[in-house]
A = this chain, B = another copy of it.
Amino acid sequence: MKNITPNFTPASVNCDECPIKDRAVCAYCEKSEMALLEAMKSYKTYAAGDPIIFAGDRMVFVGSVVTGVARLSQTMEDGRKQMVGLLLPSDFVGRPGRSYSAFDVEATTDVTLCRFERKPFEKLLSDIPNLRERMLEMALDELDAAREWMLLLGRKTAREKIASLLTIIARRQNSTATVSKNDITFDLNLTREAMSEYLGLTLETVSRQINALKKDGVIRLEKKRQVHVKDFARLLAETGDDADGGFLA
């Protein structure tokens, strides 16, 4: 259980033995089981926009995101689409114990996946206690994140939704690094459309609200996908969330 970041963000690990060092990747490479996992591992890359798997497809691989951003989503018959997971480096892809994917997975930017065949991975899952423990922790963290997302979808205004998404992205990019609350800059690796799918809005509303936040001085935009926040607390105040972020006793 060492090396795992404690909280709402998905568990991530710096794995010295990993081919790609110094990077949050493949949270499963416990030193002791390294050989096993190492043997099973394969990497695959996807171009921005490519599908990784469709809902209903047979799920041959599971794995985790090494670089880039992928998204989990659900589409209704008439085309309405809702993102239900945003997968950043170290996030797990796939569902051990199920043979078919329940959701679409697409590459949002170029993506590298560290993959394991599902069947042998499931075998390891029952053989290696550590692995199961980590999977449980990750699943529980994702569940908490999903529940916050539900509050966002069900009750927040468009402006609050945008502010919330910006803080989520800001936090995940500056995660271990800058915890200082001021002068944060980050890249939005998402189109307005992807944001609208995340937030349950239309892309027009996303555009309007981003520009409203800009006009009100809450954010500044260098390029259309690069955000400056001079006063993070100010942005936080726009999210509608509890000021203390749930850390009251």
Contacts and interface: CB of A to CB of B under 8 A. Distances in A.
B129 A76 contact: no
A56 interface: yes
How many copies of this chain does the complex contain?
Answer: 2
A74 B129 contact: no
Contacts of A155: 76, 80-82, 200
Nearest to A157: B80
Given A147-B146, A155-B80, A242-B77, A140 B97 contact: yes
Interface in A30-89: 55-56, 58, 72, 74, 76-78, 80-82, 84-85
A103 to B, nearest CB: 7
A151 interface: yes
A135 B242 CA distance: 29
B147 A84 contact: yes
A55 B249 CA distance: 10
Tell me if A's interface is mostly helix, strand, loop or mixed: mixed
A129 B78 CA distance: 44
Contact of A150 (B136, B150, B249): B150
Interface string A151-185: 10111000000000000000000000000000000
A19 interface: no
A82 B240 contact: no
B76 A140 contact: no
16 contacts: A56-B246, A74-B148, A76-B151, A76-B242, A77-B242, A81-B155, A100-B246, A100-B249, A102-B144, A126-B129, A126-B133, A129-B129, A139-B139, A139-B143, A143-B143, A149-B150
